[in-house]
Amino acid sequence: EPEVTQTPSHQVTQMGQEVILRCVPISNHLYFYWYRQILGQKVEFLVSFYNNEISEKSEIFDDQFSVERPDGSNFTLKIRSTKLEDSAMYFCASSDVGGGQLEQFFGPGTRLTVL
Amino acid sequence: AQSVTQPDIHITVSEGASLELRCNYSYGATPYLFWYVQSPGQGLQLLLKYFSGDTLVQGIKGFEAEFKRSQSSFNLRKPSVHWSDAAEYFCAVGVKSGNQFYFGTGTSLTVIP
């Protein structure tokens, strides 16, 4: 069964450093998403991506964040200069079409720890 | 603004007992409702979803959920819990006007022998 994969499973970084979180969505999916969950809080939407551009983003997704689909399989989230409050679990998801009524398939997450 | 509340942070049940996990949402129109489960080290797996029609929906692993518009609720139920059901459960709302999901904080389920 196809699944979304994410690497690394755990990333530790120093404050101010850049990190890139990687995701491989399901191969025939066209919509891609990043969510995050700070420990003990809700899973929060960051951004959705379709046709090589951002289709929707939340207020959390500021200039420190960027997303890219560098090739036909990977979807990345970059945080330019990490802050302590960026420590969270980051989930990638994909869906074959867009719209809030359709299932999004989630990866296992990357736990980011900023020291 | 849309929001989802899962009032129970942690629930412990005995194996074989029934289970109900609560979910309340706030949204001005009919929402699209989902329950996901996350086992340790795994991604969020869809258990079931509601879009329209019959308000009682059946999902995988013997789970069901009932949409109650009057209570703005979408509670998840299982008549007899198995030890393998121990996991984190997330309720989510999708909206017609966008792609994002709105999640609750999750309910952690522990199953005791």
Q: Identify the band that residue A18 occupies on the pLDDT scale cut at 50, 70 and 90.
A: very high
Q: Identify the band that residue A101 occupies on the pLDDT scale cut at 50, 70 and 90.
A: low
Q: Which residues in chain A have their CB less than 8 angstroms from residue B100's CB?
A: 33, 45, 48, 56, 58, 100
Classify strands B44-50 and A110-114 as parallel, antiparallel or unpaired: unpaired
Q: Which residues in chain B have their CB less than 8 angstroms from residue A50's CB?
A: 99
Give me the pLDDT at residue A57, please: 93
Give me the pLDDT at residue B86, please: 96
Q: What is the mean pLDDT of chain A?
A: 92
The share of chain A scoring above pLDDT 90, in percent, equals 72
Give me the pLDDT at residue B81, please: 97
In 3-state terms chain A splits into helix, strand, coil percentages (rounded to 5) of: 5, 50, 50
- Taking an 8 Å cut-off on Cβ atoms, the answer to whether B43 and A98 are in contact is no
Give me the pLDDT at residue A39, please: 86
Contact indicator for B2, B93 with CB cutoff of 8 Å: yes
Cα separation, A106 vs A2, in Å, equals 11
**Residue A103, pLDDT above cutoff 90:** no
Q: Nearest C-alpha of chain A: how many angstroms from B97?
A: 7
pLDDT 10s per residue in chain B (113 long)? Answer: 778 999 999 999 999 999 999 999 998 777 899 999 988 877 788 999 998 888 999 999 999 999 999 999 999 999 999 999 999 999 999 877 777 889 999 999 999 99
Q: Which residues in chain B have their CB less than 8 angstroms from residue A99's CB?
A: 94, 96, 99
**Residue A88, pLDDT above cutoff 70:** yes
**Residue A99, pLDDT above cutoff 80:** no
Task: Tell me the per-residue pLDDT of A34-87, one tens digit each, with 9 for 90 and over.
Answer: 999 998 788 899 999 998 999 999 999 999 999 999 887 899 999 999 999 999
Q: Which residue's structure tokens are 């700070």?
A: A38
Among B68, B86, B61, smallest CA distance to B25 is for B68
Q: Which residues in chain A have their CB less than 8 angstroms from residue B46's CB?
A: 103, 105
Give me the pLDDT at residue A96, please: 85
Give me the pLDDT at residue B35, please: 96
Q: Pick from A43, A49, A56, A90 the residue to mutate for testing the B interface (most B CBs within 10 Å).
A: A43
Give me the pLDDT at residue B108, please: 95
Return phi, psi of residue A75, to 5°. -135, 120
Contact indicator for A48, A104 with CB cutoff of 8 Å: no
Which tokens sit at A22? 């990687």
- Taking an 8 Å cut-off on Cβ atoms, the answer to whether B99 and A58 are in contact is no
Contacts with B111 (C-beta within 8 Å, 6 or more apart), sequence order: B12, B13, B14, B15, B81, B82, B83, B85, B86
Judged by average pLDDT, the poorest of A9-13, A61-65, A75-79, A94-98 is: A94-98
Give me the pLDDT at residue B49, please: 92
